[in-house]
Amino acid sequence: MTTFFVVATAAKLVLFLVGIITCGALMVWVERRMSAMIQDRIGPVRANAGPFRLWGLVHIAADGLKMMIKEDFIPRRADKLLHALAPMLAIFPVLVTFAVVPFGPTIDFGHLGSVNHLGPLFEGRWATTLQVAQVDVGLLFVLAIAGTGVVGAVIAGAASDNRYSLLGSLRAASQLVSYEVTLGLSLVGCVLVFGTLRLEDMVLWQHHHTWGVVVQPLGFVLFLAAAIAESKRTPFDLPEGESEIVAGYFVEYSGMKFAAFYLGELMEIGVLACFLAVFFFGGWDVPFLRADGIHLSLPMLGAKFWAMPHWSVVLLQLGAFGLKVCGLIFLQMAIRWTLPRMRYDQLMELGWKAILPLSLANVAVTAVVLHALR
């Protein structure tokens, strides 16, 4: 383990943690601003920094400050330890799953200016992959960690000593566990096609062949549905269901503990957008852009090639990844502000009777086709 490796990993870790938390805070703004634009409102613009309103961006800071100075209320008969533990448990999987997201190809600080002929992923003295942890069982790691998300919700509901919370945590438990199954199964098709569990290799496959959404369109729709259900947002926001069970499992939380739940949920949108991009939209892949430059092969013009320096390729690919994530966040937000909420039994029916069989069928069809093609 070289010093460079340690420094690079630490840098990536810090960069990423700061990135996600900023992203979560920004998501608050995006959600408010976007819903306002959809609903013909102005949206929040009241908070300002002197003369600057910045389209309501200052509200993030105002909210953060408010959350910090608010009373941290714990119900009298609540379990104090579990009540305090639950928000941490709820935010933990979101932060951890981010670690395996490959948000860019390998970058070599020794050869930033030259043309890279080694391909997107390589090893070198000053090279590091833009991914915090390269885990061999990447996908399994993601699913395993995401599966612990239910614990925080259940503990929060059980520890709050509130009947609405109890109902909310019961709903959360059954919903998350049910959709966990589909979440994994809808990705099995991808795993079969890509032939790997490593997230960076999945992106590499898509980089060399074609995007996942082309080979797994059904898998994409199913994963999107399951992902929204996992992040507990409309139309699957039953554990919160503010008009039914008030705020569900976090009804008794205030201050920073509430912020942990709230930010956790919003960051989860970001995480899911990352995974959707990695599994189905080629991650950092830009069409026609290879590690050494742009390769175009048009039927009229024949093959063309423009060489590009290493740094510009990496920058373009990082930008592409960001753009894809933003687009997928936009998609999730648009769905949230369009659809009404489902009912508990209908949600279960959808999960077990529609999405699960469909994802099984997707796996079977993918396997058969792959076998036939071999």
Of 50, 301, 345, 372, the residue at the interface with other proteins (CB under 8 A) is 345
Q: Say if CB 212 and CB 164 are below 8 A apart.
A: no
Query: Does residue 154 interact with other proteins by CB under 8 A?
Result: no
Q: If you search the block for the tokens 């093959």, which residue do you land on?
A: 303
> Applying CB under 8 A, which of residues 71, 76, 243, 302 lies at the interface with other proteins?
243
Binds other proteins by CB under 8 A, chosen from 109, 122, 311, 344: 344
Q: Is 213 in the site for other proteins (CB under 8 A)?
A: no
Strand 289-290 relative to strand 293-298, pairing: antiparallel
3-state helix, strand, coil in the chain (%, to 5): 65, 5, 30
Among 13, 17, 19, 35, binds other proteins (CB under 8 A): 35
Count CA atoms within 13 Å of residue 284 on its CB side: 25
User: Is residue 265 at the binding interface for other proteins, with CB under 8 A as the rule?
Assistant: no
Instruction: Please calculate the CA angle 37-40-42 and round it to the nearest 5 degrees.
Output: 70
Report angle CA 179, 323, 32 to the nearest 5 degrees: 70
Q: Is 209 in the site for other proteins (CB under 8 A)?
A: no
* Contact pick of 1, 2, 3, 40 for other proteins (by CB under 8 A): 40
Closest distance of CB 261 from other proteins, Å: 18
74-78: Cβ within 8 A, 24+ apart: 74/252, 75/160, 75/161, 75/162, 75/252, 76/161, 77/161, 78/159, 78/160, 78/161, 78/252
Assess 237 for contact with other proteins (CB under 8 A).
yes
Pick the binder of other proteins from 10, 14, 18, 37 (CB under 8 A).
37
71 near other proteins, rule: CB under 8 A: no
Tokens for 279? Answer: 């599994």
In the complex, least distance from residue 365 CB atom to other proteins, rounded to whole angstroms:
18
Nearest approach in angstroms of CB 194 to other proteins is 25
324-343: contacts with other proteins (CB under 8 A): 334-335, 337-343
Q: Does 245 bind other proteins (CB under 8 A)?
A: yes
Q: Is residue 218 part of the contact set for other proteins (CB under 8 A)? A: no
57 vs 167, beta carbon nearer other proteins:
167
Give the 3-state secondary structure of 299-356: CCCEEEEEECCHHHHHHHHHHHHHHHHHHHHHHHHHHHCCCCCCCHHHHHHHHHHHHH
| Residues near other proteins, by CB under 8 A | 34-42, 45, 163-164, 166-167, 221, 234-235, 237-238, 241-246, 334-335, 337-346
